[in-house]
Amino acid sequence: MSTRDRFVTPIDLSGMQEIFCDVAIFGSGIAGLTVACELPSSLNVVVFSKGLYSDGSTPYAQGGIAAAVGELDDPAFHAEDTLIAAVGTADPMAVAVLTTEAPSAIKFLIDHGVHFDSENGTLALSLEGGHSRPRIVHAGGDATGAELSRALFVDANTRGVQTINDAFLVDLLLDLSGAVAGAVVLIGGQPNLVRFSQAVLASGGAGQLFSSTTSPSTCTGDGMAAAYRAGAELADLEFVQFHPTVLMSVNDPRPLISEALRGEGAVLRDSKGERVMEGLHTLADLAPRDIVAREVLKRMHDQGVDHLFLDARSIASTMNRHFPTISASLVTQGIDPSRDLIPISPASHYSIGGVRTTVNGETSIGGLYAVGEVASVGIHGANRLASNSLLEGVVFGRRIAQRIADQPRSPTNTLEPQLFQRPSNDPITVNRDEMRQAMDRDAGVVRSRESLQRLLSYLKPIARKSAVLDQASIETMNMVLLDQLMVQGALARNESRGAHFRADFDQLSDLWQVRHLYHRGTDGSLELAKSDELKSEGIVAT
């Protein structure tokens, strides 16, 4: 028995209903739907959606999609802003691809039926944190994500792409050459064996690892966890972006109050009514997100309060028109922005790390691509610039579709199951709420060796593999796994950089101006490594 075999208990695939396709796309947000809409119609493409297409993060996206389409703008300025926010660990070539291809991504979306807001016959552009120029293209004011989802979903259907809802990815299956060739997917709770030639993970991030989050309940990191179990390399998991202005609310997810409000003139105030960011950064309230989130948290601690305020009174007259989604959330909480200050605090918002890919979306496993929040192509470094995430889904989704069209693969029949199991057949009974609160407390905006070690000790006894093909058990297993990976990565990175702030190492370290690579070792334990350099292979900017 090989070392590897001791850690693999095969799933019994016999008797499962089988589904065959050329390309399986896991995820129905902007990234997955972009791939679906760009693939040649000669391919049999199936989109597996964890819930409905409207249940993921994309429809929640407010601010918009960044692109240098303004008269005085240029992709080079967009790249410069992205690299500044990233604090030294973004891949400059991948950023060049993102920003250079951004204008054509906007055109692609318009051609696929997206209605963006316009002013005097040209695209209306707004400003967000870290951007040196107004370059955020938006739709329905703050309903950009909802409009993108709507249009791409309609377009994918028109092209004959099949979507299967309530389809939960359990595990990826490799063939004997180590390439991906299938997956176990629970559809309506029933296990199915999906066989394909190529697969695209577009399954979103892991915001639900934290109790306070803007990410919907579908974001439990299932794609990252399945890819890790299958042996794919992950990167930069310790970088989790916390959004500074999330409405105080018991809702899960908590409603986002877009940075675009600050772009129009709203300002942060503390519990004494004083401006928070004035004098602290040249961009004041529009400083990069990590800086604002830390400052909000620090002021909360100093003043012994659990929230600060966003003062949107100066823009109240345009709120309904420019920010209808936010205005509706405020109404439900009884807040009148023309009179009241809006109570906010930071919450987890975006998984910067994920499955490591090239700029063509290839992962370290043959036949497996990843795109969007599940992926880590290296454009965000230590801190994502506002409104680069929807853009990422379109730019790299299109590149993946091109790659698949250029390099078709033949399906294989022999599959090797990858589900890691403990001998026990018990369902996992972890208290998720408690675990998520522990992540907020000990791996949140500010971490330390002490808090991270406390978290690891808490996670160790509850970490185990689920043998039960049950969505809730496997989701929890995925969350525990990702918590452990993230915490170990955060413990190893002895510095503060962007969204990763260590109270006990509060400075940048030259030793850590690298990406952090996560890999499952042959004995099943995590192997961490630093990337050699910030290099990009196979880049062809269009």
Among all residues, which ones are annotated catalytic? Answer: 289
CB-nearer residue toward ligand SIN: 198 or 389: 389
* C-alpha–C-alpha distance, residues 90 and 85, integer Å: 9
Minimum Å distance from CB 348 to ligand SIN? 12
* C-alpha–C-alpha distance, residues 510 and 490, integer Å: 16
Minimum Å distance from CB 239 to ligand SIN? 14
* C-alpha–C-alpha distance, residues 207 and 218, integer Å: 9
CB-nearer residue toward ligand SIN: 222 or 259: 259
119 burial type by CB count under 10 A (0-12 exposed, 13-18 middle, 19+ buried): exposed
Give the CA angle between residues 379, 383, 388 to the nearest 5°.
Answer: 50
Minimum Å distance from CB 85 to ligand SIN? 11
* C-alpha–C-alpha distance, residues 106 and 116, integer Å: 9
CB-nearer residue toward ligand SIN: 204 or 231: 204
Residue 14 neighbours by CB distance under 10 Å: 6
Minimum Å distance from CB 332 to ligand SIN? 19
Q: What is the DSSP letter of 318?
A: H
CB-nearer residue toward ligand SIN: 28 or 62: 62
Residue 6 neighbours by CB distance under 10 Å: 11
Minimum Å distance from CB 373 to ligand SIN? 10
Using alpha carbons, select from 90, 136, 87 the residue that is nearest to residue 359: 90
* C-alpha–C-alpha distance, residues 449 and 117, integer Å: 47
Minimum Å distance from CB 258 to ligand SIN? 3
Determine the residue with CB nearest ligand SIN: 63
CB-nearer residue toward ligand SIN: 197 or 389: 389
Is beta strand 354-356 parallel, antiparallel or unpaired with respect to 368-370? unpaired
CB-nearer residue toward ligand SIN: 351 or 418: 351
CB-nearer residue toward ligand SIN: 348 or 364: 348
Q: How many residues does the chain have?
A: 542
Site residues for ligand SIN per CB under 6 A = 62-63, 258-260, 386-387, 389
Minimum Å distance from CB 144 to ligand SIN? 8
* C-alpha–C-alpha distance, residues 372 and 79, integer Å: 18
H runs (alpha helix) in 88-209: 92-100, 102-111, 144-158
* C-alpha–C-alpha distance, residues 209 and 219, integer Å: 8
Rg over alpha carbons for the chain, rounded to the nearest Å, is 22
